[in-house]
Amino acid sequence: MERFSEYRIMWVLVLFDLPTETKKDRKAATEFRKKLLKDGFTMFQFSIYVRHCASQENADVHIKRVKASLPEYGQVGIFCITDKQFGNIEIFYGKKPQTLDTPGQQLELF
Protein backbone atom coordinates (compact mmCIF):
# COMPACT_ATOMS: atom_id res chain seq x y z
CA MET A 1 0.00 0.00 0.00
CA GLU A 2 1.27 3.45 -0.94
CA ARG A 3 2.19 5.58 2.05
CA PHE A 4 0.79 8.81 0.54
CA SER A 5 -2.27 7.42 -1.20
CA GLU A 6 -5.03 9.98 -1.83
CA TYR A 7 -7.35 7.48 -0.13
CA ARG A 8 -5.15 7.21 2.99
CA ILE A 9 -4.41 10.91 3.46
CA MET A 10 -7.23 12.54 5.42
CA TRP A 11 -8.66 15.99 5.95
CA VAL A 12 -10.27 16.78 9.29
CA LEU A 13 -13.05 19.37 9.06
CA VAL A 14 -14.35 21.22 12.10
CA LEU A 15 -17.60 23.14 11.63
CA PHE A 16 -19.00 25.27 14.41
CA ASP A 17 -21.70 27.72 15.38
CA LEU A 18 -20.78 29.31 18.69
CA PRO A 19 -22.69 31.95 20.65
CA THR A 20 -21.16 35.45 20.70
CA GLU A 21 -23.80 37.45 22.56
CA THR A 22 -21.80 38.04 25.74
CA LYS A 23 -18.17 38.93 26.38
CA LYS A 24 -17.69 35.48 27.96
CA ASP A 25 -19.16 33.79 24.84
CA ARG A 26 -16.92 35.79 22.50
CA LYS A 27 -13.87 34.93 24.59
CA ALA A 28 -14.73 31.20 24.52
CA ALA A 29 -15.27 31.30 20.74
CA THR A 30 -11.97 33.12 20.20
CA GLU A 31 -10.08 30.66 22.42
CA PHE A 32 -11.58 27.72 20.50
CA ARG A 33 -10.49 29.19 17.14
CA LYS A 34 -7.00 29.95 18.49
CA LYS A 35 -6.62 26.35 19.70
CA LEU A 36 -7.61 25.10 16.24
CA LEU A 37 -4.99 27.33 14.63
CA LYS A 38 -2.35 26.27 17.16
CA ASP A 39 -3.07 22.63 16.28
CA GLY A 40 -2.44 23.30 12.58
CA PHE A 41 -5.98 23.92 11.33
CA THR A 42 -6.58 26.53 8.64
CA MET A 43 -9.71 28.61 8.19
CA PHE A 44 -11.61 27.34 5.14
CA GLN A 45 -14.65 29.58 5.70
CA PHE A 46 -15.66 31.67 8.72
CA SER A 47 -16.79 28.74 10.87
CA ILE A 48 -15.12 25.89 9.01
CA TYR A 49 -11.53 24.90 9.72
CA VAL A 50 -9.57 22.13 7.99
CA ARG A 51 -6.41 20.19 8.71
CA HIS A 52 -4.39 17.90 6.46
CA CYS A 53 -3.41 14.61 8.12
CA ALA A 54 -1.14 11.87 6.79
CA SER A 55 -3.45 9.05 7.96
CA GLN A 56 -6.63 8.23 9.85
CA GLU A 57 -4.51 7.51 12.92
CA ASN A 58 -3.00 11.01 12.72
CA ALA A 59 -6.46 12.50 12.17
CA ASP A 60 -7.71 10.74 15.31
CA VAL A 61 -5.01 12.51 17.37
CA HIS A 62 -6.20 15.92 16.15
CA ILE A 63 -9.87 15.04 16.59
CA LYS A 64 -9.11 14.11 20.20
CA ARG A 65 -7.46 17.54 20.69
CA VAL A 66 -10.49 19.32 19.23
CA LYS A 67 -12.81 17.39 21.54
CA ALA A 68 -10.63 18.34 24.52
CA SER A 69 -11.00 22.04 23.69
CA LEU A 70 -14.75 22.15 22.98
CA PRO A 71 -16.42 25.25 24.38
CA GLU A 72 -19.20 24.92 26.95
CA TYR A 73 -21.91 26.18 24.57
CA GLY A 74 -22.54 26.04 20.83
CA GLN A 75 -22.56 23.39 18.15
CA VAL A 76 -19.40 21.79 16.79
CA GLY A 77 -19.21 19.13 14.09
CA ILE A 78 -16.07 17.13 13.31
CA PHE A 79 -15.58 14.78 10.38
CA CYS A 80 -12.92 13.33 8.10
CA ILE A 81 -12.78 12.97 4.37
CA THR A 82 -10.08 11.50 2.16
CA ASP A 83 -7.70 13.66 0.16
CA LYS A 84 -9.45 12.36 -2.97
CA GLN A 85 -12.84 13.56 -1.69
CA PHE A 86 -11.41 16.92 -0.61
CA GLY A 87 -9.97 17.37 -4.09
CA ASN A 88 -13.47 17.06 -5.57
CA ILE A 89 -14.85 20.06 -3.67
CA GLU A 90 -16.29 22.72 -5.99
CA ILE A 91 -16.01 26.30 -4.72
CA PHE A 92 -18.00 29.25 -6.08
CA TYR A 93 -18.05 32.96 -5.41
CA GLY A 94 -21.52 33.87 -6.56
CA LYS A 95 -21.88 31.89 -9.78
CA LYS A 96 -18.18 32.04 -10.65
CA PRO A 97 -16.14 28.89 -9.99
CA GLN A 98 -13.08 29.46 -7.82
CA THR A 99 -9.90 27.47 -7.52
CA LEU A 100 -9.49 25.58 -4.29
CA ASP A 101 -6.60 27.04 -2.32
CA THR A 102 -5.70 24.04 -0.22
CA PRO A 103 -3.75 24.74 2.93
CA GLY A 104 -0.15 23.67 2.53
CA GLN A 105 0.67 20.08 3.28
CA GLN A 106 2.09 19.93 6.75
CA LEU A 107 5.35 18.18 7.26
CA GLU A 108 5.47 15.75 10.12
CA LEU A 109 8.69 14.58 11.70
CA PHE A 110 8.81 11.15 13.21
pLDDT in tens, 35-81: 999 999 999 999 999 999 999 999 999 999 999 999 999 999 999 99
Evaluate whether residue 108 is within a structural domain.
no
Total domains present in the chain: 1
Evaluate whether residue 18 is within a structural domain.
yes
Which pLDDT band holds residue 104 (cuts at 50, 70, 90)? low
Q: In CATH, what number is assigned to the domain containing residue 47?
A: 3.30.70.240
Q: Is 71 helix (H, G, I), strand (E, B) or coil?
A: coil
Rounded Cα–Cα distance for residues 46 and 75 (Å): 14
Which helix (H) or strand (E) segment is 50 a member of? Answer: strand 48-53
Query: pTM for the whole thing?
Result: 0.84
The chain-wide mean pLDDT, for the chain, equals 90
Indicate left, alpha or beta for 50 from its phi (over 0: left) and psi (-120 to 50: alpha). beta
Evaluate whether residue 1 is within a structural domain.
no
Rounded Cα–Cα distance for residues 79 and 101 (Å): 20
Q: Is the pLDDT of residue 105 over 80?
A: no
Rounded Cα–Cα distance for residues 63 and 84 (Å): 20
Evaluate whether residue 42 is within a structural domain.
yes
Evaluate whether residue 5 is within a structural domain.
no
Give the pLDDT of residue 1: 47
Section 77-99 average pLDDT = 92
User: For the chain, how many residues are written?
Assistant: 110
Evaluate whether residue 41 is within a structural domain.
yes
| Residue 16: burial class (beta carbons within 10 Å; 0-12, 13-18, 19+) | buried
21 neighbors 13 (Cβ within 8 angstroms):
no
**For residue 68, what are the domain limits?**
10-98
Evaluate whether residue 2 is within a structural domain.
no
